């Protein structure tokens, strides 16, 4: 069971209060109609899926009902930091 620190509620809460939102920092293309099929497919489906440091979105559905980002190690499951959307992570790994 993960204990996740919500940067909006400023509290550690149990994993079950949250939903996973997948990889963070994926920018939606500004002009989707001008993309090739490869670029659009990459945006939709291809994720980094690293073994190690991963920046990912979480949604605090049972609390503040807001999204935030977390930096988590996908091998040890240690959550290294959480930060609000729009800011950059402090911790980055080679794979991130």
Tokens representing 78 are: 């240690």
19 C-beta neighbours (distance < 10 Å), count: 13
Question: Tokens 């939709």 sit at which residue?
Answer: 44
Q: Is the dihedral of CA 50, 70, 45, 27 positive or negative?
A: negative
Under the criterion CB under 8 A, does residue 49 sit at the interface with another protein?
Answer: yes
- Indicate whether 55 belongs to the interface with another protein (CB under 8 A): no
Among 26, 75, 84, 91, indicate the residue that binds another protein (CB under 8 A). 75
Q: Which is nearer to another protein, 47 or 87 (CB)?
A: 47
The span from the CA of 34 to the CA of 78, in Å, is 40
**Least distance from another protein to the Cβ atom of residue 88, Å:** 20
Q: Does 15 bind another protein (CB under 8 A)?
A: yes
The pattern of x and - marking residues 19 through 38 that bind another protein according to CB under 8 A reads xx-x--------------xx
């Amino acid at each position: 069971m993960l204990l996740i620190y919500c940067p909006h509620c400023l509290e550690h809460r149990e994993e079950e209060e949250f939903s996973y939102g997948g990889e963070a920092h994926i920018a939606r293309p500004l002009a989707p109609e001008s993309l090739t099929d490869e670029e659009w497919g990459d945006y939709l489906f291809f994720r980094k899926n690293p073994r190690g440091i991963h920046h990912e979105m979480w949604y605090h559905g049972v609390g503040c009902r807001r999204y935030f980002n977390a930096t988590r190690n996908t091998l040890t499951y240690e959550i290294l930091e959480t930060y609000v959307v729009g800011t950059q992570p402090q911790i980055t790994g080679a794979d991130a």
